[in-house]
Structure 1
Amino acid sequence: MSQDTQNILSVPKHVAIIMDGNRRWAKEKGLPSLEGHRRGADNFEKLAERAKELGILCFTGWAFSTENWKRSKEEVKYLFSLIGGLAERYKKKCQEKKTKFIHLGRKDRIPEETRKTLEDVEESTKGFNDFTVAIGVDYGGHDELLRVMKKMKEDKEEITQENIEKNLDTASLPQIDLIIRTGGEKRLSGFMSWQCAYAELYFTDTYFPDFGVKQLEEAVKNFSQRERRFGGN
């Protein structure tokens, strides 16, 4: 364990990151926007590895929102190719490092090849519990809640907090402690609408491809210095 890790007093169990700024990063460097997404995907892998080293139990990234379908067909196709490639690479890595992989979001609209890859990695890593990597693909917080309500209506379940939470995409994951958003925007854009209630928020102007392990450590250190009251005094 590094000295930097030892200096972090209280490590969040679950960190979720809104990976914003890939396209602006590419534009400022005179590169195609697709290159920004590629760099972002590579960066997510590095951050997930560091998160595990820091003692974080679950690391979640928002890769494709329910609103991202509005982007060009070329960009959408490339994003799903990147997501499928990331999941495929993760399959071997997750098995070697006993990491569980989970897809959050809708299953019905994702291209079949990408969906099958995500399902395959989920199935092959479902027995691991030490560390979890979750990827939000075709995920939106409002869409998630609508899906939950429809399912509960079909199953004739009573609407209670407990029943809602057990039907969320994140039902098997620890409560989110820290949400990070890169790229300068100071809003959640519908990310984890239910789960964000008591999450600490950390906003940074740094574009996601430049948000490295040192920046992650700084965000976690900032979290450790906050007093969390959960509605109490």
Structure 2
Amino acid sequence: MAVKEFPHHVGIIMDGNGRWAKAKSLPRSKGHVQGLQATKNIVAHVAKSPIPYLSLYTFSTENWTRAQEEVGALMNLIATHLKAQLPFYHEYGIRILHSGDKHRLSKQIIKDLDEVEAKTAHHTQLTLNLLIDYGGRDEIIRAAQRVLAQELALNQESLRQHLDQPSLPDLDCVIRTAGEERLSNFMLWQSAYAEMIYIKTLWPDFTPKEFDLAMTSYQNRHRTFGGE
């Protein structure tokens, strides 16, 4: 029987900003700016839906290897928009969480992340998990290190409780745009039984209507979690 309810936790690999810019003969940074607007549109849309959790692959551990100019532009976007979006988060009742390793982030970004998390902690409409300097393998290693540092038995439950955001449920579905069909180190632990939805649209052109079509695809699938 197909699933008819909405997923509890959706993850999105927001791919295609660079290709969008290249197709228009624009700098890659322009693609990221346009992608940010698409992100805001989708977040607002999800906040008005029954979906309580959304995780966005904002900046991966592998993204540091990109050209310095592009990395700088991405970090600047993050730095200038974290606190600037507070009125938006308050308007839509969005709680902000961060997943990832903060050690390579600037002191200002870390400060802003902490402040935004604190100032939105009371919101309950949507929990938005921003993956910044995040890698799935890296998260699992860091979780294991936390378990061992506390001299606990290393098992599935103890590791889960020491992930970056242990309060989040596992992913029900993962959407990836731009036609690529791989996880790219995205929430490897949490996506163990996620439904994968691949979409050809480049992220800056991804719309709430296409998100709804992805949700229809999810609702028409039969989930067994290995039981059949």
User: Which residue of 159, 162, 179 corresponds with 1:167?
Assistant: 162
**d(CA) in 2 for partners of 1:135 and 1:85?**
15
8 Å contact from structure 1 (residues 14, 175) kept in 2: yes
In structure 1, the residue corresponding to 2:184 is in which secondary structure?
Answer: coil
1:107 is displaced (CA, Å) by: 1.1
User: Which residue of 34, 40, 57 corresponds with 1:39?
Assistant: 34
User: Which residue of 197, 202, 210 corresponds with 2:192?
Assistant: 197
**d(CA) in 1 for partners of 2:220 and 2:199?**
17
Question: 1:74-131: per-residue Cα shift (whole Å, max 9, x none)?
Answer: 1111101111233223222222332210111011111111121111101111122331
Unaligned runs of 5+ in 1: 1-7
**d(CA) in 1 for partners of 2:165 and 2:215?**
21
Counterpart residue identity of residue 73, structure 2: Y
**d(CA) in 1 for partners of 2:20 and 2:99?**
26
**d(CA) in 2 for partners of 1:97 and 1:23?**
29
Structure 1 residue 83 and structure 2 residue 78: aligned? yes
In structure 2, the residue corresponding to 1:89 is in which secondary structure?
Answer: coil
8 Å contact from structure 1 (residues 98, 131) kept in 2: yes
Structure 2 partner of 1:102: 97
**d(CA) in 2 for partners of 1:107 and 1:119?**
11
In structure 1, the residue corresponding to 2:97 is in which secondary structure?
Answer: strand
Question: 1:194-223: per-residue Cα shift (whole Å, max 9, x none)?
Answer: 111110000111110011111100001100
The Cα RMSD (Å) is 1.3
Unaligned runs of 5+ in 2: none
Matches of residues 50-129 of structure 1 in structure 2 within 5 Å? 50-129=45-124
8 Å contact from structure 1 (residues 81, 114) kept in 2: no
1:25 is displaced (CA, Å) by: 0.6
**d(CA) in 2 for partners of 1:125 and 1:71?**
32
Q: Taking structure 2 as the reference length, what is the TM-score of the superposition? A: 0.95
Counterpart residue identity of residue 218, structure 2: F
In structure 2, the residue corresponding to 1:88 is in which secondary structure?
Answer: coil
Ranges of 4+ aligned residues in structure 1 off by more than 3 Å: none
Counterpart residue identity of residue 42, structure 2: L
Moved more, 132-141 or 97-106: 97-106
8 Å contact from structure 2 (residues 136, 187) kept in 1: yes
Structure 2 partner of 1:226: 221
**d(CA) in 2 for partners of 1:224 and 1:87?**
33
Moved more, 139-148 or 156-165: 156-165
Moved more, 92-101 or 192-201: 92-101
